[in-house]
Structure 1
Amino acid sequence: MGRYILKRLAYLIPTLIGASILIFFLYSLVPGNFIDGDPNLTAERKAELYALYGFDQPTIVRYFIWMGNLLTGDLGFSLQFQRPVTEVLNNYIWSSFIVAFASLFLTWAIAVVVGVISATKQYSLYDAVITILVFAAMATPSFFLGLIVIKYFAVDLGWFPAGGMTTTGADYTGWEHVKDVLEHMILPVLVLTMLGIGGLTRYFRTNMLEVVKQDFVRTARAKGLKERVVIYKHALRNALLPAITLFSFELPALFSGAIITEQIFNWPGIGAIYMQAFTVRDYTLLMGFTMFIAVLTVISNLIADILYGLADPRVRVK
């Protein structure tokens, strides 16, 4: 296993180099930048800023400068915020993380339970109702669902705040601040959970239906084990194995933010900042954040491979 991990780590190097080349040159092909988008700048001032930030250099030279900075942990300088990209990401990425983590936990917990019960009661009324609700959740646009939730829970009932991360004008500290943030989190988490639960429920239902038809399940039943033990101890454990890869790829999603949801609820997350950077063409911030997500993706892929080898004795890594 140790040799396998080292080999997979070695594979990450050319993968990340290829990702950096693709990210940099794709953004370089996009016309314009943050400096060109400012109509108040004179031609002389634009030329000064081009020289200051290295935009007057050939593309290949700029790539190697950018790559050298990446190796030192420098993701670049955001022209929009006039701060290093690492500082911008650190200010906004954690607010996206707490919402994504909460919705991820709820989505998986609910999807596993509902999917397994739906599989054990195949073609029943419960299964039919769940199937209808699942497809309805998958077909509903996020912006529409977000607006409906705000209208009902925030405007009509007044149970939760309609947007933002904290109450405007409030100066809460300690537990009061935590409680305030949690109250503002409820609606975004609810929307993200409803959007993600549909496909995941179908995934677990399909896996469970395949597992319960296998020989070891029939053998367990033939031994006289209770149906509950057969389903939740033997079948469920094997049905969850394919979900290792799916779960590991949730790591980048925890930090990538939910662009539309954060815009609707005015949540100060990285998704909204990412969209704003597109609007003003702050490509340095876009490249740095995209490279950060690329690193998380290859790391999560490595974690998935390792977990498969540890969780499933049928998998042999060489």
Structure 2
Amino acid sequence: MKQLLIRRLIQSIPTLIGASILVFLVFTLAPGDFVTQMSADANMTQERLDEIRALHGLDQPLYKQYLTWMGNLLTGNFGESVLHRQPVTSVINTFMWNSFLIAIIVLVLQWIIASIVGIMAALRQYSIYDSAVTLIVFMAMSFPSFFLGLLMLKFFAVDYQIFPLGGMRSTGSTLTGWADFWDVMKHLALPVIVLTLLNIGSLTRYFRTNMLEVIRQDYVRTARAKGLKERVVIFKHALRNALLPLITLFALEIPGLFSGAIITERIFNWPGIGRVVLDGIFQRDYPLLMGFTMLLVVLTIVANILADLMYGVADPRVRNR
């Protein structure tokens, strides 16, 4: 396992360098920059614009700009956000955890619900239950996030006023302790419901498909032929092997915990990192966008390594490769 970890870490270095070059080129070579945006918003002379570009090193050759940016990244300096007038690390740290709060709750709910519903659908293949689950799953997957979000707001926030319209806390709230906790939970409810409904469909199908594939294997038939109880056959023999392909999927959802849900956060006015990134795109806040994208790159690489390690724990054959 130690050798597997070392090998994966070494292999990730070229990937990280290549991704950093790609991220830098995508944003650097994009038409316009924040200086262009400033010139559109304010009446500046060309000399002043050139001075601002020189101040931020935008007049340097691309390779020098890249080496400077990469060197700053290695020291933890992601630059300064043009839109927020703060270090990029401060902006990300402020808003990312709000997105993480929603994402971790959605992750737990969707995996619990999808595992139960998907496994039961596989065990009752072609039954009324399986057909109903398939229909509901495809209906949930077909709804656009903005439509489902607005629909939830219409019924539960406007018509019946069960949940608040949006935000993270009530306007002007001075609540503390448990009162503040429940206030945040009420504001969390609708975004969590929407994201869970949108994400649960594909995961349910994964569970159903993997379980169907496993319960048709010879070793499952052998276990039944030995007279083992169906509960033991399913949960001890079949379920463990059905979960193996899902380990990778679970690990690869780690970057999504920090990336935010842009459309959902916008609809519910949730102060998450997805909404901040969307504003950064409109304002061409490239330091923020580049820093956040590189953070997701690192998280994705770490998630891949973690997936390999988790798979190695679950399947000893992987460790010896």
Superposed counterparts of 1:254-273, under 5 Å:
254-273=257-276
Q: Which amino acid aligns with 1:137?
A: A
Q: Are 2:39 and 1:42 aligned?
A: no
Q: State the 1:268 CA deviation.
A: 0.5
Q: Answer yes or no: is the 8 Å Cα contact 2:4–2:319 preserved in 1.
A: no
Secondary structure of the equivalent of 2:36? coil
Superposed counterparts of 1:225-236, under 5 Å:
225-236=228-239
CA distance in 2, matches of 1:312, 1:240: 11
Q: Which amino acid aligns with 2:44?
A: T
- Partner residue in 1 for 2:285: 282
Q: What TM-score comes out, normalization by structure 1 length?
A: 0.98
Q: Are 2:222 and 1:202 aligned?
A: no
Deviation per CA, 1:66-89: give whole Å up to 9, x if none.
Answer: 000011011111111111110000
Secondary structure of the equivalent of 2:35? coil
Superposed counterparts of 1:231-242, under 5 Å:
231-242=234-245
- Partner residue in 2 for 1:15: 15
**RMSD between aligned alpha carbons?**
1.0
CA distance in 2, matches of 1:28, 1:41: 24
- Partner residue in 1 for 2:5: 5
Secondary structure of the equivalent of 1:166? coil
CA distance in 1, matches of 2:319, 2:300: 23
CA distance in 2, matches of 1:223, 1:214: 15
Q: State the 1:166 CA deviation.
A: 0.5
Deviation per CA, 1:252-274: give whole Å up to 9, x if none.
Answer: 00000000100110000000011
State which drifts further: 278-287 or 232-241: 232-241
- Partner residue in 2 for 1:126: 129
Q: State the 1:317 CA deviation.
A: 3.2
Equivalent residue pairs, number: 318
CA distance in 2, matches of 1:174, 1:33: 44
Deviation per CA, 1:20-50: give whole Å up to 9, x if none.
Answer: 0000011111011112112314123322211
State which drifts further: 266-275 or 217-226: 217-226
Superposed counterparts of 1:1-318, under 5 Å:
1-38=1-38, 39=40, 40-43=42-45, 44-318=47-321
CA distance in 2, matches of 1:54, 1:64: 12
Secondary structure of the equivalent of 1:61? helix
Q: State the 1:13 CA deviation.
A: 1.2
CA distance in 2, matches of 1:211, 1:93: 39
Q: Which amino acid aligns with 1:308?
A: Y
Deviation per CA, 1:124-180: give whole Å up to 9, x if none.
Answer: 000000000011111110000001111111111111111100000111112221111
Secondary structure of the equivalent of 2:77? coil
CA distance in 2, matches of 1:233, 1:158: 46
Q: What TM-score comes out, normalization by structure 2 length?
A: 0.97
CA distance in 2, matches of 1:96, 1:56: 36
CA distance in 2, matches of 1:63, 1:236: 48
Q: State the 1:98 CA deviation.
A: 0.5
CA distance in 2, matches of 1:317, 1:50: 53
Deviation per CA, 1:161-213: give whole Å up to 9, x if none.
Answer: 11100000111112221111111001000000000000000110000000000
State which drifts further: 87-96 or 11-20: 11-20
CA distance in 2, matches of 1:287, 1:119: 43
CA distance in 2, matches of 1:41, 1:145: 42
CA distance in 2, matches of 1:187, 1:35: 38
Q: Which amino acid aligns with 2:20?
A: S
CA distance in 2, matches of 1:255, 1:110: 22
Runs ≥4 residues deviating over 2 A: 313-318
5+ residue gaps, structure 1: none
CA distance in 2, matches of 1:129, 1:224: 32
Deviation per CA, 1:49-75: give whole Å up to 9, x if none.
Answer: 112111111111110000000110111
CA distance in 1, matches of 2:310, 2:63: 39
